[in-house]
Amino acid sequence: MDASEREQYRAAIQGDREAFEVIIRTHSRTLFAIAYGILQNREEAEDVVQDSLVKAWKMRWRVRDPEKFPAWLSMIARHRAHDVFRKRRPDFTHETIETTEVNTPETSAMDQHLQSALATLPELHRAALTLRYFEEMDYRTIENTLGLTNGALRGILGRALNSLRKQLRPVFASTD
Amino acid sequence: MAIIHEEIDNWLAADVYGELSDEEQRQLHTHLVECVACRKTHQETKTMNKILEETLTQQKPDPSFEQRMLAGFRNRVPERTGLLKFLADLMRMRAAQVTAVAAVLLGLVQLGRMVTGENAASPAAPDRYANEQLFEQRSQVAATSEPARAGALGKADELAAARPQAMPLQAPPPPSSDEAKDKTESFAQAERTVVTGSNIATAEEVGPKPAETPPSALANRKLIRNATVELEIVSFDDALQKITAIANDERGYVATTSSQKQANGKLSGEVVVKVLPENLDRFLQKIRKLGELKNQTLGTEDVTKTYFDTDARLKNAHVMEQRLIDMLKTKTGKVADLLQVEKELARVREEIEKMQGELKYWDSQVQFATVTISLAEKDMEEPAAFLIKERSQLALYAPNVEKIYNDIKALASSRSRGMQITSAQLNRDYSGRISATMSVLIAPEESEEVIARVKSFGRVENFQTQTERIAQGGSGMSENAKTKRDKVELNITISREEQEQAFQQTSLRIRTSSVDEKAKDLRAVAEKQGGRVRSSTFSRDPNGRELANVWLRVPMKNYPALMQSLDSLGKVENVTVQRQDRTGTQIDEANAPADISIQVYSQGNIVSHESGPLATLRRTLAQSAGAVMWSLRMIGVAIAFLAPWVVAIVAIVWIAKRVIRARRKL
């Protein structure tokens, strides 16, 4: 983290609105990736990002160390997304899948399989995957963003890919 | 290699995501060449990555996503405008934060003060208010009634009062020859004189002030000067003569003298001398040399204004008188009117006389300064005589209080003149103890003899005498004052001997085989030595041990003999002696009581049922049975505590087993 970045976080913590808006511009995609990874739903993920930003603005004085500001933002988004995920009614997932089916007829069967395969992964694994594919972050950045220890991501992504691979093997077979 | 094979998923994922170092990549490829299974997995992983890339990229937020987020944020958190924004920006500065905290603290402190009722709110305001009021009052008083201001003004108010004062002062036309003088100067003068005038009470410090005023102005002022001097002199008559001589020198005269004689033959008095004001200072200096100056005050009273006021009024009255006389001369009008004029004329004349008298008085006062000299001869306070007062306290112990009480009474009646009982009291309390207190006045010449007689009635426990020299008609030392002895006051308290605390306390033990007999012997020995048995006990315990306690009291002089005779009774053990030396009191040591507490005891010789082998065996058995019972009870308690837990654990294990079995069946 360079000095100007840190200065920006510090200003934002102290209530500089412009600095915070710059942070919104630079970080909301990351937050979206996390939220989407957990929720697998764009609308909900957007709402989560929105809520998280507002909450972060209101609670900004809680952050003592400006360096930790991005990780803190991600944590808020993760918790918020988790809350939303838990509050879903049990049949909600199926409903959304149906609606997506109806609304986007071009969605391939592969997409649907992938969706359900992703749904079986732990939240953290999903968030890591989306961060990787959406933002093309390297392992180190993802680890920092999600608050993981160094080297933990390697195993996580390995297991995630393995799990997806196993679930989608029949589909491969059919498509090949 | 084995590691790669086992963790192939992680390796492949890292490979796909470009997170492998060159070395690692080389290792992986080497392994892939060797391992078929891993090669397959590698293929699948690549496909998987492709699918994920394709699918998830679709879900990436659109380019306007940030804008949307920003808009949403702005919508939900409206920006502060105007003052609020300014305040928020301000609060971001460190200095502003510190200031705000300080302000809040200060506010809290003020609030606390208000709550506790401490009056901290700007003390200046009520003060100023009070000052204003004072000023108003003073100026009103000054304007209306002149004499009211004469002494009581505070220093701060004087100046304030002086200003309005100056105006009326200027108004009456001062018949000054220097009228031509500058107006401002006269204004300044007026102001100064007022200050002087109102200060008369503490004249000394203002004393020199009139001297500062220019002589031309002084000549027209009516100043009354007076002084008081307090002197201590050797001889009153001598001093009076000298004062008269000095007064004559300074062209003054002695107005009055008064003197009085004290009990110790010293004279004191007061001399009032009138001298010319201009000679006053010189006169005072001469007077001072007559003796030791104790006190001196010098005062000046300015009566200029009142004097000339009265003078002007007098002139008016004269004019009025003339007109009334003229009226009577022309004799027109009714008789009643004439009578009225006559009456008025009488009143005016009376007034004129009064004013003339006043002026004359003032003239005399101004003409001569008054000096009041208080004279007192040295050693005024010297006492005329001394009285020696003697007070004695006597505490007596006697076997028969009542007898001594009556003896003292008889003694008093036999010496009717030399001894007098002022109070006598015989007390007997509920436990039969008897004591007496008496107060006696004895003629000084007989006191020694009487006190000696009274002392011989009983045993003196305490005797104290206080002598006091009381100066009469003054204080301090005097060489030639007479000394007289007053009657001696003697307070006697008589108590029974029994109550007296022993001078010496001894306790000892005697071992003997026949306790009862020896105790009886002990009584005999004590009686032979003039002692008394105060109390005794005898007991025998179940082991056959006998024990007798005897408390004796003998006079100190017989104590050694008694101790010697005790040896013949048996083996004396554990002797402890405690002596109470009473310092500062005269006591008769030979007759002072000594207490001896003696314990006569024997060794037990009867075997009781509580000792012996059988009893010991029984006790041992009983004790061991008790111990067994105790441990049984403890075990019971432990079981009672543990049992519910054991039951609960067994139940849980049983249920768990059932559940597992049921699951397996499913």
pLDDT of residue B644: 94
Least confident of A80-89, B52-61, B180-189: B180-189
Query: In chain A, what is the greatest distance between 2 CA atoms, to the nearest angstrom?
Result: 57
Q: Stretch B229-256: mean pLDDT, rounded?
A: 86
For residue B302, list its beta bridge partners. Answer: B223
Question: Looking at beta carbons, which residues of chain A come within 8 Å of B48?
Answer: 161, 164-165, 168
Q: What is the pLDDT of residues B102-128, one digit of tens each?
A: 999 999 888 888 887 665 444 444 444
| Three-class DSSP labels, B493-562 | EEEEHHHCCCCEEEEEEEECCCHHHHHHHHHHHHHHCCCEEEEEEEEECCCCCEEEEEEEEEEHHHHHHH
Mutation test of the interface with chain B: which of A27, A34, A38, A157, choosing the one with the most B Cβ atoms within 10 A? A157
Residue A89 scores a pLDDT above 50: yes
Residues B75-94 as b or e (16 or more Cβ within 10 Å = b) = eeeeeeeeeeeeeeeeeeee
CB contact under 8 A, A50 and B76: yes
| The predicted structure's pLDDT at residue B354 | 92
Lowest mean pLDDT among B203-207, B324-328, B513-517, B536-540: B203-207
Chain B contact present for A130, CB below 8 A: yes
Q: How far is B44 from chain A (nearest CA, A)?
A: 7
To the nearest whole Å, the CA of B635 is away from the closest chain A CA by: 54
Burial of B408 (0-12, 13-18, 19+ CB in 10 A): buried
**Among B243, B206, B260, B248, residue whose Cα is nearest residue B372:** B243
Is A29 close to B66, i.e. CB distance below 8 A?
Answer: yes
- Gap between the Cα atoms of B536 and B553, Å rounded: 12
SS percent in chain A: helix, strand, coil, step 5? 85, 0, 15
Mutate to test the interface with B, among A115, A154, A163, A174 (most CBs of B within 10 A): A154
Beta-carbon separation of B51 and A168 below 8 A: yes
Give the Cα separation of B391 and A86 in Å (integer).
Answer: 105
Q: How many CB atoms lie within 10 A of CB B607?
A: 11
Beta carbons of B561 and B596 less than 8 angstroms apart: no
pLDDT score recorded for residue B608: 53
Lowest-pLDDT range of A135-139, B61-65, B501-505, B576-580: B501-505
Interchain contact A133–B (C-beta under 8 A): yes
Tell me the backbone φ, ψ of residue B470, rounded to 5 degrees. -110, 125
**Are B76 and A133 a contacting pair at CB < 8 A?**
no
Measure Cα distances from A57 to A17, A97, B97, B193, B461 in Å. 9, 33, 20, 80, 97
Which strands sit side by side in the sheet containing B292-302, from one edge to the other? B253-261, B267-275, B369-377, B223-233, B292-302
Give the Cα separation of A36 and A45 in Å (integer): 5
Would you state the pLDDT for residue B145? 44
Q: Calculate mean pLDDT across residues B45-52.
A: 85
Mean pLDDT computed over B67-77: 86
Rounded CA-CA distance B434/B426 in Å is: 7
Rounded average pLDDT over B557-575: 81
Q: Secondary structure of B294-345 in the HEC alphabet? A: EEEEEEEEECHHHHHHHHHHHHHHHHHHHHHHHHHHHCCCCHHHHHHHHHHH
For B429, list phi and psi in degrees, rounded to 5.
-90, 180
Whether the CB-CB separation of B319 and B182 falls below 8 Å is answered with no
Token pair belonging to A67: 């360096």
Residue A167: per-residue pLDDT: 85
pLDDT over 80 (residue B365): yes
Q: What is the pLDDT of residues B85-96, one digit of tens each?
A: 777 667 667 777
Compute the average pLDDT of residues B649-655. Answer: 96
Contact A160/B at CB under 8 A: yes
Among A155-159, B204-208, B438-442, B538-542, which is the least confidently predicted range? B204-208
Average pLDDT of every residue of chain A: 81
Q: How far is B106 from chain A (nearest CA, A)?
A: 25
Confidence of residue B433 (pLDDT cuts 50, 70, 90): confident
User: What is the C-alpha to C-alpha distance for residues A12 and B299, in angstroms, rounded to an integer?
Assistant: 84
pLDDT at res. B609: 58
- Burial profile A80-97: b = 16 or more Cβ within 10 angstroms, e = fewer: bbbebbeeeeeeebeebb
Rounded to two decimals, the pTM is 0.35
Q: How many helices (H) and strands (E) does chain B have?
A: 22, 15
Kindly state the percentage of chain B with pLDDT values over 70. Answer: 77
Helices (H) and strands (E) in chain A, counts: 9, 0
pLDDT at A173: 66
With 60 as the cut, is the pLDDT of residue B142 above it? no
Name the average pLDDT for chain B.
77
SS3 B75: helix
Q: Hey, is B590 helix, strand or coil?
A: coil
Distances (CA, A) of B67 to A48, B72, B514, B547, B564: 16, 8, 122, 113, 124
Query: Which position has the higher pLDDT, A173 or B165?
Result: A173
Average pLDDT estimate for B392-402: 84
Beta-bridged to residue B532, according to DSSP, are B553
Least confident of A86-100, B352-366, B416-430: A86-100
Say how many residues make up chain B. Answer: 666
Q: Point out which residues pair with B423 in neighbouring strands.
A: B439
- CA-CA distances (angstroms) from residue A126 to A94, A96, A159? 18, 18, 11
Interface of A with B in 68-107 (CB under 8 A): none
Query: How big is the CA angle at B461 (ends B457 and B466), to the nearest 5 degrees?
Result: 95
- pLDDT top residue among B499 and B18: B18
pLDDT value of position B475: 66
Q: Which residue has the higher pLDDT, A110 or B319?
A: B319
* Whether residue B185 has pLDDT greater than 60: no
Mean pLDDT along residues A154-174? 82
Q: Which of B7, B53, B73 sits opposite A133 (nearest CB)?
A: B53
Give the distance, in angstroms, between the CA of residue B394 and the centroid of all CA atoms in the same chain. Answer: 39
Residue B599 DSSP SS3: strand
Residue B161 has pLDDT above 70, yes or no: no
Q: Is A161 in Cβ contact with B49 (below 8 Å)?
A: yes
For residue B588, what pLDDT band results from cuts at 50, 70 and 90?
low
Which one, of B330, B300, B458, lies nearest residue B394 by Cα? B458
Q: What is the pLDDT of residue B127?
A: 47
Nearest CA in chain A to B53: A133
Residue B215, pLDDT above cutoff 60? no
Whether B148 shows a pLDDT value over 50: the answer reads: no
Q: Does A21 touch chain B (CB under 8 A)?
A: yes
Band the pLDDT of B427: cuts 50, 70, 90: confident
For A14, name the nearest residue in chain B, comparing CA atoms only. B92
Name the region of B530 (left: φ>0; alpha: ψ -120 to 50; beta: rest). left
**Nearest Cβ partner for A54 among B11, B44, B77:** B77
**What pLDDT shows up at residue B456?**
83
pLDDT attached to residue B176 = 46
3-state DSSP assignment of residue B11: helix
Q: Is the pLDDT assigned to residue B496 strictly greater than 90?
A: no
Report CA-CA distances (Å) from B333 to A29, B482, B571: 128, 88, 143
Q: Residue with structure tokens 């920092």?
A: A144
Strand pairing category for B369-377 and B223-233: parallel
CA distance B535 to B531: 12
Residues of B with CB under 8 A from a CB of A: 7, 9-14, 16-19, 41, 44-45, 47-49, 51-53, 55-57, 59-61, 65-66, 68-70, 72-73, 76-77, 79, 88, 91-92
Residue-level pLDDT at A90: 57
Q: Confidence band (pLDDT; 50, 70, 90) for A108?
A: low
Q: What is the ipTM of this complex?
A: 0.81
Paired tokens of B163: 């200003």
Whole-angstrom Cα distance, residue B641 to residue B629? 19
Spatial separation of the C-alpha atoms in residues B323 and B329, rounded to whole Å: 10
A162 touches chain B (CB under 8 A): yes
**Partners of residue A42 in chain B, C-beta under 8 Å:** 59, 61
Report CB contact under 8 Å: A129, B68.
Answer: no
Say if the Cβ atoms of A29 and B70 lie within 8 Å.
no
Residues of B whose CB is below 8 A from A130: 56, 59
Mean pLDDT in residue range B178-192: 44
For residue A101, what pLDDT band results from cuts at 50, 70 and 90?
very low
Lowest mean pLDDT, pick from A29-38, B467-476, B522-531 = B467-476
Using the 8-state DSSP alphabet, how is residue B417 labeled? T
Of B41, B55, B72, the CB nearest to A111: B55
Give the three-state DSSP class for B600. strand
Query: Which whole number is the average pLDDT over B295-323?
Result: 87
Tokens of B270: 């007061």
Tell me how far apart the alpha carbons of residues B540 and B515 are, in angstroms, rounded to a whole number: 10
List of chain B residues whose C-beta atoms are within 8 Å of the C-beta of residue A54: 73, 76-77
Q: Are B486 and B562 in contact (CB under 8 A)?
A: no
- Report the C-alpha gap between A174 and A24 in whole angstroms: 44
Residue B108 C-alpha from the chain's centroid: 34
- Report, as an integer, the average pLDDT of B400-420: 83
Residue written as token pair 């990351």: A30
Which residue reads 């009334």 in tokens? B324
Model confidence at B432, pLDDT cuts 50, 70, 90, reads confident
Asked if A14 and B45 come within 8 Å (Cβ–Cβ), the reply is no
Burial letters B593-604, b for 16+ CB under 10 A, else e: bbbbbbbbbbee
* Residue B428, pLDDT above cutoff 80: yes
Q: How far off is chain B from A89, nearest CA to CA, in Å?
A: 23
Q: Is B440 exposed, middle or buried (0-12, 13-18, 19+ CB in 10 A)?
A: buried
Q: Determine the distance in angstroms separating the CA of A75 from the nearest CA of chain B, rounded to an integer.
A: 18
Q: What is the pLDDT of residue B118?
A: 60
Please name the residues in contact with B513: beta carbons below 8 A apart, sequence gap of 6 or more. Answer: B602, B603
Say whether A54 and B66 touch across the interface (CB within 8 A). Answer: no
The answer to whether the Cβ–Cβ distance between B13 and A133 falls below 8 Å is: no
Cβ <8 Å between A114 and B19 = no
B10 contacts A133? CB cut-off 8 A? no
Q: How far is B102 from chain A (nearest CA, A)?
A: 20
- State the nearest Cα–Cα gap between B103 and chain A, in angstroms: 21
In this model, does residue B132 exceed pLDDT 70? no
